[in-house]
Amino acid sequence: MERVVLVTGANSGVGLALCHRLLEEDGRIHLCIACRSVQKSEATRDLILATHPAAQVSTVEVDLSNLASVLRAAQELRCRFQRLDFVYLNAGIMPNPQVNFKALWQGLLSGKVLHILTTAEGMMTQTDRLTGDGLQEVFTTNLFGHFILVRQLQSLLCGNEKPSRLIWTSSSNARESAFSLSDYQHAKGQQSYSSSKYATDLTSVVLNRKYNNQGLYSSVVCPGLVMTNMTYRILPFFLWKLLMPIIWLIRFFAKTYTLTPYNGAEAHVWLFKQKPEYLDLLVKYHSCTTGLGRCYVEPRKMDVDEDTAEKLYQKLLELEKQILERYSDLLD
């Protein structure tokens, strides 16, 4: 039987490039694309089929910031499929990103310019807001909505003849300094994106501990600096025009400047071809590009504390319990 691959956030950027690249690797897969609206899903499906007319492509509507939508999507997927081989947890948001020019200038003076330009450490701030469920939007979209989806799809992911895979899109911007267990939704800070990505890394570590013996493996990837709609919102468009020649030059020194969604999906596709039993589950796989444009994957040990990861996981379970009680009418 063909492998079934689910991709969230498939309508643009790395998610869309990933869909094309997966079909180039194996045109026999059943690709299920998950987008926030029916219109986006159908438009994306048509776009993919224009390039891969023989592909099996289905759609599911899911707004990861809306947990009722997540539960409905999971129910639909359980009815439609007997198993899922790969779930790419790729959807994410960075609302109202702004550059902290003071922090950038201080970083430049400290001589850590390359580190700052490759990780955006201390340089990026975001303004978060609450969802209809009363949760922080970035936390919910980037992590918790995916967490609920995985938990609801457990029957399709565990106990199969071959291992199933979770592949989370994380970031080099995932930093412990932006995360706090006492404020794991990051309601009090201005680095919600970084916090959510660090929480993603922690969650992946625990999922492996809990589910590897049931045939489910979790990995995290970093697509590098990719020029997408999310990136372009950070600065006015005319500034990007002025900066692009410099950015292309920096790529000779900063290998994570992948720049294009196609290059950014390199680590995602590389993991598609690996046997999970032989992977280091405490490693983040980074998409990298040489100055001349050759793509490759670089594994880097994650800076995560496993005790903190377990404590976060327990908090997610407690929050999940509250959500499932609220939406009990949507459960089987």
User: How confident is the model over 310-328, as pLDDT tens digits?
Assistant: 999 999 999 999 999 999 9
CB 175 within 8 A of CB 115: no
CB 298 within 8 A of CB 271: no
User: How confident is the model over 5-19, as pLDDT tens digits?
Assistant: 999 999 999 999 999
CB 175 within 8 A of CB 121: yes
Tell me the CATH number at 105: 3.40.50.720
Q: Between vectors from CA 288 to CA 285 and to CA 291, what angle results, nearest 5°?
A: 170
CB 302 within 8 A of CB 282: yes
Confidence at 176, pLDDT banded by 50, 70, 90: very high
CB 118 within 8 A of CB 110: no
One of 193, 217, 257, 313 is an active-site residue; which one? 193
Confidence at 294, pLDDT banded by 50, 70, 90: very high
pLDDT at 115: 58
Confidence at 186, pLDDT banded by 50, 70, 90: very high
pLDDT at 23: 98
Does residue 109 register a pLDDT over 90? Answer: no
Domain that holds residue 281: 4-330
User: How confident is the model over 66-103, as pLDDT tens digits?
Assistant: 999 999 999 999 999 999 999 999 999 987 666 666 66
Backbone angles phi, psi at 214, to 5 degrees: -105, 10
Q: Give the three-class secondary structure for 43.
A: helix
Backbone angles phi, psi at 219, to 5 degrees: -135, 155
What secondary structure letter does DSSP report for 271?
Answer: H
As a whole number of angstroms, the distance between CA 35 and CA 319 comes to 24
pTM to 2 decimals?
A: 0.90
Give the pair of three-digit tokens for residue 115. Answer: 């580190």
pLDDT at 121: 60
Lowest mean pLDDT among 121-135, 148-162, 313-327: 121-135
As a whole number of angstroms, the distance between CA 189 and CA 61 comes to 31
Ordered strands of the 4-8 beta sheet: 56-61, 30-35, 4-8, 86-89, 164-169, 216-222, 283-289, 295-301
The total number of structural domains that make up the chain: 1
Backbone angles phi, psi at 3, to 5 degrees: -75, 145
Does residue 117 register a pLDDT over 60? Answer: no
Q: Is 88 a catalytic residue?
A: no
What secondary structure letter does DSSP report for 54?
Answer: T
Q: Give the three-class secondary structure for 138.
A: helix
Pairing verdict, β 86-89 and 4-8 = parallel
* Dihedral Cα 221, 227, 230, 236, nearest 10 deg: 150
pLDDT at 187: 94
